[in-house]
Amino acid sequence: MKPEISVIVVAYNEKEYIAETLESIMAQKTNFKFEILCHDDASTDGTQDVILEYQRRFPDIVVPILQKENKMQNGHQIVVEYCYPKARGRYIAYCDGDDYWLNDNKLQKQYDFMESNKDYVMCLHNFDFLDVESGRFSSSGCGTKDRDMKVEEFILWDSMKVPQIGTSIFRADLAKERPELFIKIGGGSNSLRPISDQPLYIYLALHGKVKYFADVMSIWRRRGVESWGGTKEKNKHVQFNLDKISFLKELDRFTSYKYKLPIQKAIERCKFTIAWTIRDFNQAKRYAKSMDKSIVFLILIYIMSIVPNISKHLLEYKGNKLKGTK
């Protein structure tokens, strides 16, 4: 019998966490079959040994996809190229190799909703952050009420309000048929990280409804935030946002300018981030209003445009808050 859901787990040097991740998935109580496609990108810490042990214990569920050389660093889209072709489920779910699920009814709840509401193409849920250094948990900011999410939210992409990919299940057929525009944007060794979640979310939302459940059903580990101080990191941030701007402009044409206003606002946010990263506070002031920040933040931008070297530590703090990455 074919699985109904293919759970994709992506790992790289996650030996410390991967067992907890897999246990949380194996603990799911479902009335349907699911599989776990566990991709390891040539880890050097023994992560692959842990994955193989779980395959030995659960041969009908765990499917290892083990690389001998790192694919992501060479610009490959590992999920699309190596996981999707092996995914047999009608739906796809994600869980990063250092995260874990809390609710053992997570998959069943999302599956039941999708099966009962065929006009929906994706179902997301709330999650909590776990700061690895401090051990403290914090809320995501995604919201405390169930609701439908709109394509405009995914275009604007507030990373503190959009549920991360590890909360999702979505239709596999739509994800696999995406055109190139929604698959490969930047990425590889010259980018901070591949822009993958946002184009996927947008493409799915263009083809149907998206449900958000306020229940906290997973944990996203945050292992600190990279400094923006070095030239190499600055260049990565700039290129990341330039890639995103290119995608948004192509998206505007793809959608026949139906979402022109949110796309323009999203582009201005990227330009703000670029200006902030390179310490061009006059340009940052120009685009600051698109960030939907408080009046205190806007005043800060204005002051910095006049006195650029007001505080190195304040810059690093605010830069990290804006980045909002894992």
Residue bearing tokens 């293919």: 6
Q: What percent of the chain has pLDDT over 70?
A: 82
Q: What is the pLDDT of residue 288?
A: 73
Nearest to 98 by CA among 222, 226, 225: 222
Q: What is the pLDDT of residue 206?
A: 98
Q: Which amino acid is at 87?
A: A
Whether residue 88 contacts residue 36, with contact meaning beta carbons closer than 8 Å, is answered with no
Copy the structure tokens of residue 193.
Answer: 């990280």
- pLDDT tens digits for 250-305? 999 999 999 999 999 999 989 988 988 888 877 777 777 666 655 455 566 556 55
Whether residue 119 contacts residue 33, with contact meaning beta carbons closer than 8 Å, is answered with no
Nearest to 81 by CA among 154, 168, 155, 8: 8
Stretch among 173-182, 212-221, 258-267, 278-287 having the lowest mean pLDDT: 278-287
Q: What is the pLDDT of residue 192?
A: 37
Q: CA–CA distance from 151 to each of 200, 225, 255, 315, 324 (Å)?
A: 11, 28, 11, 32, 21
**What distance in Å separates the CA atoms of residue 41 and residue 38, rounded to the nearest whole number?**
10
Q: What is the pLDDT of residue 309?
A: 54
Residue 228, pLDDT above cutoff 50: no
CATH architecture of 5-222: Alpha-Beta Complex (3.90)
Run of H or E residues at 10: strand 5-11
**What distance in Å separates the CA atoms of residue 6 and residue 91, rounded to the nearest whole number?**
6
Residue 224, pLDDT above cutoff 80: no
Long-range CB contact pairs, 113-121, < 8 A, 24+? 113/211, 113/213, 114/169, 114/171, 117/209, 117/211, 119/208, 119/209, 120/208, 120/209, 120/210, 120/211, 121/170, 121/171, 121/174, 121/204, 121/205, 121/207, 121/208, 121/209, 121/210
Supply the pTM of this predicted model.
Answer: 0.85
pLDDT, average across residues 125-142: 94
Q: What is the pLDDT of residue 218?
A: 97
Copy the structure tokens of residue 102.
Answer: 């809390």
Q: CA–CA distance from 276 to each of 222, 269, 273, 319, 322 (Å)?
A: 23, 10, 5, 8, 10
Nearest to 130 by CA among 277, 24, 241: 24
Report the sign of the C-alpha dihedral through residues 287, 292, 295, 296, in that order. negative
**What distance in Å separates the CA atoms of residue 154 and residue 148, rounded to the nearest whole number?**
12
Q: What is the pLDDT of residue 193?
A: 43
pLDDT, average across residues 82-97: 97
**What distance in Å separates the CA atoms of residue 124 and residue 298, rounded to the nearest whole number?**
32
pLDDT, average across residues 48-71: 97
Residue 154, pLDDT above cutoff 50: yes
Model confidence at 234, pLDDT cuts 50, 70, 90, reads confident
What residue segments make up the domains of the chain, in order of their start? 5-222, 231-323
Mean pLDDT of all residues belonging to the chain? 87
Residue 185, pLDDT above cutoff 70: no
Residue 25, pLDDT above cutoff 70: yes
